[in-house]
Amino acid sequence: MSDPMRIRLQSVAGVTTVKVLMSHEMESGQRRGEDGRIIPIWNIQDVSASWNGKVVMTAEWGGGISKNPFMQFAVKGTKPGDKISITWKDNRGDSRTDEVLVT
Amino acid sequence: MQLRFEEMMNTRRNALIKGTALSALLLESLMRAEDSFAYQQSAFDAKTVAELNKSLGLSVPLESSQISLLTPEIAENGAVVQVAATTTLANVRRWIFLVEKNPIPLVAIFNLTEDVLPSITARCKFAQTSDFIAYAQLADGRVYYNKKEVKVTLGGCGG
């Protein structure tokens, strides 16, 4: 099981800015190990963000996203108590979901 | 009695065959449905921007000053470069982030709904000094872009 995401919310006038920090190696598949062989790609491929259970954004990522990925986006029309949840899935089938409440 | 048993077996066999054919069909259509949502591997295999545009089936991107990019001018470490894109264009449904000179230019695709603002920030790897390009695809399929160079003093792809 991978480490939890760190999700920070900041709400101003019904717009909630969501900052997400994920814990993942994000091996690009371009690097060579000491034995000269390419280190296989290991990356988060699919990301989805939900607002009160409704998907509001999805993303597809390649090996070009940095290690321990950071992402920021903003949801419109939020109110205190709303639930924001983020899910990621990597190319090894590992996945993780974390959620936070709008304050 | 013998005959009836054989008949019965026949019907059972036929039913079994029909059932297998049906489930194969079902499986096929299920897999096809899955395909339409699947990770676009071919786009993440494209080695040039031209190849990528073709792979995603994009119309020719037009340069737009309505797209603003926030990137560092110089990045000491190409492994972590924060990039942000925002726009005053209406009905943006998709952001596509590219680092032109990376071995694989496509970094990320963000599919937006009307519930989110057309502003995205992410952190990318830069293998070398390169343009950062952001495509904004609108609901009607039109694609606009803007780009900005990031000078990298230490590469991020170990290449």
Give the other-Cβ count within 10 Å of A38's Cβ.
12
Residue A1 forms part of a structural domain: no
CATH of the domain at A49: 2.60.40.10
Domain coordinates of chain B in residue numbers? 1-38, 41-152
A79 phi and psi, to 5 degrees?
-140, 160
Residue A16 forms part of a structural domain: yes
CATH of domain B41-152: 2.60.40.2470
Contact B39 A45 (CB under 8 A): yes
pTM given for the model: 0.84
Give B38's pLDDT tier (boundaries 50, 70, 90): confident
SS3 call for B5 = helix
Query: Can you spell out the DSSP letters for B121-149?
Result: EEEE--SSSEEEEEEEEETTS-EEEEEEE
Name the token pair of A10.
């900041």
Looking at the DSSP assignment, which residues form a beta bridge with residue A46?
Answer: A60, A89
Counting the structural domains of chain A, the total is: 1
Mean pLDDT value across chain B: 86
Chain B interface includes A38 (CB < 8 A): no
Chain B interface includes A74 (CB < 8 A): yes
Query: Which amino acid appears at position B101 of this protein?
Result: K
Give the other-Cβ count within 10 Å of B92's Cβ.
24
Residue A28 forms part of a structural domain: yes
Q: ipTM of this complex > 0.90?
A: yes
Chain B interface includes A69 (CB < 8 A): yes
Q: Beta strands B119-124 and B62-63: pairing type?
A: unpaired
Place of tokens 């988060």: A44
Chain A residues with beta carbon closer than 8 angstroms to that of B118: none
Domain span at residue A28 reads 6-101
pLDDT of B66-103, one tens digit each? 999 999 999 999 999 999 999 999 999 999 999 999 99
B71 phi and psi, to 5 degrees?
-140, 155
